[in-house]
Structure 1
Amino acid sequence: MARQGGNPPQAAAISRPPLVKIYGLQAGLLVLAAAGVMLVDVASAKALLIGGLISVLPNAYFARMAFRHRGSRAASEVSSAFKRGEAGKFVLTVSLFAIVFSTVP
């Protein structure tokens, strides 16, 4: 069917997710939770904070890598960014666990 009107169709604009807000909120809630647990037990609060950071930091790295490119023209870049982000997340997670297991009593 013929289109009526003068404006050609436009592609939908997909905005990037607010990564700084999301991971900043997670880190803030993590600190608040650790502060609350610190009232009961300092060792548990330390474990909570370290474990939470081991979770948040690799996820933030992956999200940063995964959402660097967008659009159908950058499909190959998006795919390779996801692969690099997942590999980096895995290496970062393993490295952080290794550091914690070797240094924290």
Structure 2
Amino acid sequence: MAKANSSGIRRPPIAKWFLAEGVVLAVVSLAFLGLRGQVAGLSALLGGLIFLLPHGYFALKAFRYTGARSARKIMSSFYQGEAGKLILCAILFTMVFKWIQPLDVAALFLTFAIMLITNWITPLLLGSYTQQS
């Protein structure tokens, strides 16, 4: 259950969402491994991690503060988190393309895209955090 602050607005259940996204990543990576081999499986895993790691950084930065009194800190944290997420994505993609050979580029990008879509629908599938209990 998401934790409510004094204003009654709940923090999103980030850990629950990351667990669900981790399960999706494991399933997708194993599917690539089984269907297309070891290189595709590893490439899929790396594509998912390139999404999850920067997104985790964003979540840590963006959801540090709550409450109306912290509005400026919240906005600043969101901007810092988003900038950091984009920079981390670029660094991780660069590292993978530079150091991982052989690489199944299709599996890498397809899994990244699957994780992006999963991230959009996870809150819908696991229930909204804004509902009051």
* TM-score between the two structures when normalised by the length of structure 2: 0.66
Paired residues, number = 95
Quote the Cα distance in structure 1 between the aligned partners of 2:7 and 2:68. Answer: 11
Equivalent residues in 2 for 1:83-98, closer than 5 Å: 83-98=79-94
Tell me how far 1:63 sits from its aligned partner. Answer: 1.7
* 1:36 Cα deviation after fit: 2.1
Q: What is the match of residue 56 of structure 2? A: 60
Structure 1 letter corresponding to 2:14:
L
Q: How does 1:1-105 map to 2 (within 5 A)?
A: 12-41=7-36, 42-105=38-101
> What runs of 5+ residues in structure 1 fail to find an aligned partner?
1-10
Structure with bigger RCO (C-alpha 8 Å, 6+ apart) = 2
- Give, in angstroms, the shift of residue 49 of structure 1: 0.9
Q: Distance in 2 between matches of 1:61 and 1:20?
A: 13
1:51 maps to a residue whose letter is G
Residue 110 (structure 2) aligns with: none
Deviations 1:35-77 (A, max 9, x none): 1221122221111111111011111211221111111100110
Q: Sequence identity of aligned pairs in percent?
A: 36
TM-score normalised by length of structure 1: 0.83
What is the Cα-based RMSD across aligned positions, in Å? 1.3
Unmatched 5+ residue regions in structure 2? 1-5, 102-133
Query: Residues 30 and 49 of structure 1 are in contact (CA less than 8 Å); yes or no, is this contact kept in structure 2?
Result: yes
Provide the rounded CA distance (Å) in 1 between the counterparts of 2:73 and 2:31.
43
2:107 paired residue number: none
Q: 1-side partners of 2:71 and 2:34: how far apart? A: 49
CA distance in 2, matches of 1:29, 1:52: 9
Greater CA radius of gyration, 1 or 2? 1
Tell me, yes or no, if the aligned pair for 1:19 and 1:64 is still in contact at 8 Å: no
Q: Distance in 1 between matches of 2:79 and 2:7?
A: 25
